Amino acid sequence: MSEEMYEIYEKCGISKEVYEFGEMILEGLKDRFEKFDKTAEYNQLKVLNAMQKCKVSESCFMPSSGYGYNDLGRDTLEKVYAVVFGTEDALVRPQITCGTHALSIALSSQLRPGDEMLSISGKPYDTLEEVIGIRDSIGSLKEYKISYSQVDLLEDGSFDYNKIKESIKENTRLVAIQRSKGYQTRPTLSVESIKDAIQFVKNIRSDIIVMVDNCYGEFVEKREPSDYGADMVVGSLIKNPGGGLAPIGGYICGTHKCIEKAAYRLTSPGLGKEVGATLDINRTLFQGLFLAPTVTCSALKGATFAASIYERLGFEVVPNGSEERHDIIQAVTLKSPEAVKAFCNGIQSAAPVDSYLTAEPWDMPGYDSDVIMAAGAFISGSSIELSADAPMKPPYAVYFQGGLTWHHAKVGILKSLQALVDEKIVDIYI
């Protein structure tokens, strides 16, 4: 161990035993990290080629105001996203406030009274429950007489194809697939498994719209669900594709028909994609996308490091330290509220912003229990930055993600472990 290196970690509040434990874990991750780097290299070139193909120019960074007519940067960025995600068209807008908003637009733009939405990956993420009407809320799909049903995944995390076939009815208009685990400890779905599910649904009824909630999964693999026939892939710009620079926004990539409907829903019938000023953020949206593959790679290294550390300490982790990864989220079941608070405050103390604050559970809009969130971020709520959050209910699993750089992710994970050690919740054995 370099004494100089340890000294700087010590200044960050990390003890020698925690630092050495982390270094021991890292010795076994070199091959995994090399694979992440290769995927990032592929995706970096994919983004570069898309930007060159779409003739991104300095003029694309000029601001627009008012109606935003003829915004060259906005229109070019949407072409770049369509090329990157292998779709006919894209809607990429700062007016989309978050991932839940993007999903709400995607769903409500395609579904009409009497239609049914079928989720084939089980219960969706908590904030979508009110969008759908699983929990009553003003303006839900349920209020517009759009019904909902779901098919749970099998115990091994795979699609239940027999049940899916039984559940597709005449009025089933849209099939939804959530790639990431959300606040569940199930495996994240691979692009390959989603590909098979899309093909299965389309073979039953080719007119069914397949929408994939792509949040946390972008650039984790070399391919996206839209490369294999998804009619829409949807996500947030303050997660992977924003590269930590996008200050707001969301995207929907898909077929011309789906994107046209989504644009009319976002703005107004008759206006669609023609309006929507980008003010002065086009540069950061382009640059964030350009950096996204390497930022996602850093987050993957951090997630794998966290999995390997907490698995070694005997905690249940999903995925484990050796499994293939399909998103940036790492679930760790800590089994007690005290452990969850300690973990999250370890992450908070490693932040470049608001590191001196204490994370506390609170009643967040859209959730059915108090939620604790640790995120000292440059962009509020940006979960591609180092963050951790957890619903304060059994099994007391915490969800860690992000890290704009691998080295920041590393120190954050070590700080989470240090907090658990200091609270005498865990003991380290090397």
In the chain, what is the greatest distance between 2 CA atoms, to the nearest angstrom? 68
Cis omega (within 30 of 0) for bond into 187: no
pLDDT computed for residue 185 by the predictor: 77
What tokens were used for 150? 């779901």
For the cut 80, the answer to whether the pLDDT of residue 430 exceeds it is no
Domains detected in the chain: 3-43+290-422 (3.90.1150.60), 64-280 (3.40.640.10)
pLDDT reading at 2 higher than 80 = no
Binned at pLDDT 50, 70 and 90, residue 362 comes out as confident
Give the per-residue pLDDT at 183: 78
- The predicted pLDDT at position 364 comes to 75
Residues 6+ apart with CB under 8 A from 8: none
Determine the pLDDT at residue 267: 98
1 pLDDT above the threshold of 90: no
Phi then psi for 47, rounded to 5 degrees? -70, -45
Residues 6+ apart with CB under 8 A from 40: 219, 293, 294, 296, 297
CA–CA separation, 27 vs 358, rounded Å?
32
User: Tens of pLDDT along 24-66?
Assistant: 999 999 999 999 999 999 999 999 999 999 999 999 999 999 9
Distance between CA atoms of residues 191 and 224, nearest Å: 6
Question: What pLDDT does residue 369 have?
Answer: 83
Burial class (CB in 10 A: 0-12, 13-18, 19+), 68: buried
Sheet holding 116-119, edge to edge: 89-93, 250-254, 232-236, 209-213, 172-178, 116-119, 147-150
pLDDT in tens, 234-247: 999 999 999 999 99
| Burial 388-414, CB ≥16 within 10 A → b, else e | bbbbeeeebbbbbbbbbbbebbbbbbb
% residues pLDDT > 90 (the chain): 93
Residue 349 scores a pLDDT above 80: yes
* Percent of the chain topping pLDDT 70: 99
pLDDT tens by residue, 10-33: 999 999 999 999 999 999 999 999
The pLDDT tens digits for 73-129 are: 999 999 999 999 999 999 999 999 999 999 999 999 999 999 999 999 999 998 899
